[in-house]
Structure 1
Amino acid sequence: MRFGNSVTFRSLALTTAWFVIALLVIAIVISALYRNAAERGFRQLLQAEMFNVINSVSVDDNGELKGAPQLGNLNYQQPQTGWYWVVDPLYDPTKETLHSPSLGDTDLPRKSEDEVPYDGDFRRTYIVRDNNDNDVAVIETVVVMDEKDRAARIRVTGNRETVDDEVRWFSHRLYLALALFGAASVLLNGLVILWALSPLDKARRALSQISESGEGEMKGAFPHEVQPLADEINALLSNNRAIIERARMQVGNLAHSLKTPIAVLLNEAQRMSDKEGKLITSQVVMMQSQVQAYLNRARIAAQSESVLTRCDVQPTLERLVRVMRRLNPDTEFSFSCEAGLVLATEQQDLEEVVGNLLENAGRFARYSVEVKAHRLSETNGDGAGWAEITVVDDGPGLTPEEIRKAMKRGERLDESGAGSGLGLSIVDDIVQAYGGRFELTGLEGAGLHARVVLPAKG
Structure 2
Amino acid sequence: MRNRLPRLKLGPSSLTARVLLLATLWSALALVVISIVISQLYRQSAERAFTDLLRAQLYNVINSITIGDDNQLSGSPQLGDLRFSQPETGWYWIIEPLGTFAARPLSSSSLGTSNISVPSILAVPFNNRYERFYNATDAYGNNVLVAETEVVLDGEGRAARFRVSGNLSVVEEDIQTFSRSLYIALAVFGLGSLIVNGLAILYGLQPLDGARRALDRVRRGEVERVEGQFPREIMPLANDINALIESNRRIIERARMQVGNLAHSLKTPIAVLLNESRAVEKVQSDLVRSQAEGMQSQVQSYLNRARIAAQRDSLLARTEVEPVLERLVRVMRRLNPDKEFHLYVAPQGIGLAMEQQDVEETIGNLLENAAKFCKTAVWVTAVPGPAPAGAEGDSARRPWIEMAVEDDGPGLEPDEIREALKRGRRLDESKPGAGLGLSIVREIVTEYQGALELSRGERGGLRARLTLPAVTKDVAHS
With normalisation by structure 2, the TM-score equals 0.83
Within 2, Cα distance between the matches of 1:335 and 1:274?
49
Query: Hey, what's the Cα distance between the residues in 2 that align with 1:305 and 1:2?
Result: 28
Shift of 1:15: 4.2
Deviation of 1:6 (Å): 4.4
Shift of 1:280: 5.1
- Counterpart of 1:381 (choices 384, 394, 410) is 394
- Cα deviation 1:338-378 (Å, max 9, x = unaligned): 22101111111111112222333333344554332222466
Q: CA RMSD in A?
A: 3.3
Correspondence list, 1:286-297, <5 A: 286-297=294-305
Task: Tell me what 2:359 maps to.
Answer: 350
For residue 404 of structure 2, what is the aligned residue in structure 1? Answer: 390
The Cα offsets for residues 392-444 of structure 1, whole Å up to 9 and x where unpaired, read as 34444434333332222222222322222222221121112222222234499
> Secondary structure of the residue that 1:405 maps to in structure 2?
helix
Relative distance call for 1:438 and 1:2 in structure 2 (3 A) is farther
In the TM superposition, 1:438-453 aligns within 5 A as: 438-442=452-456, 446-453=460-467
1:199 counterpart SS class? helix
User: How do 1:190-269 and structure 2 match up within 5 A?
Assistant: 190-213=198-221, 215-267=223-275
Matched, 1:129 2:144: no
Aligned residue in 2 for 1:429:
443
Structure 1 pair 34/180, CA: closer, same or farther in 2 (3 Å)?
same
Deviation of the 1:189 alpha carbon: 4.0
Q: Which moved more, 1:441-450 or 1:107-116?
A: 441-450
Distance 2:210 2:443 in 1: 38
Per-residue deviation, 1:279:
5.6
Equivalent residue number for residue 47 of structure 1: 55
Aligned counterpart, 1:56: 64
| 1:84 counterpart = 2:92 | yes
The question of 1:371 aligning with 2:385 is answered no
Distance in 1 (CA, whole Å) between partners of 2:402 and 2:166 is 82
Q: Distance in 1 between matches of 2:364 and 2:116?
A: 104
What amino acid is aligned across from residue 401 of structure 2 in structure 1?
Answer: A
Kept after mapping to 1: 8 A contact 2:352/2:469? yes
Alpha-carbon distance, 1:301 to partner: 1.8
Alignment of 1:8-19 (within 5 A): 8-19=16-27
Q: How far 1:91 sits from its partner (Å)?
A: 5.1
SS at match of 2:417: helix
Amino acid of the structure 2 residue aligned with 1:381: D
Of all paired residues, the percent bearing the same amino acid is 52
Q: Select which of 370, 376, 385 maps to 1:361.
A: 370
TM-aligned CA distance change 1:106 to 1:239, over 3 Å: same
| Alignment coverage as a number of residue pairs | 458
Q: Is residue 160 from structure 1 mapped to residue 168 from structure 2 by the alignment?
A: yes
C-alpha displacement of 1:266? 4.5
Q: How far did residue 310 of structure 1 move? A: 0.5
Structure 1 residue 261: deviation in Å? 4.3
Match of 1:318 in 2: 326
TM-score by length of 1: 0.86
Counterpart of 2:74 in structure 1 is: 66
Is residue 412 of structure 2 the alignment partner of residue 412 of structure 1?
A: no
1:324-335 matches, within 5 Å, as 324-328=332-336, 329-331=338-340, 333-335=342-344
Change (3 A) 1:396 1:101: farther
State whether residues 27 and 194 of structure 2, in contact with CA within 8 Å, keep that contact through their aligned partners in structure 1.
yes
* 5+ residue gaps, structure 2: 1-8, 474-478
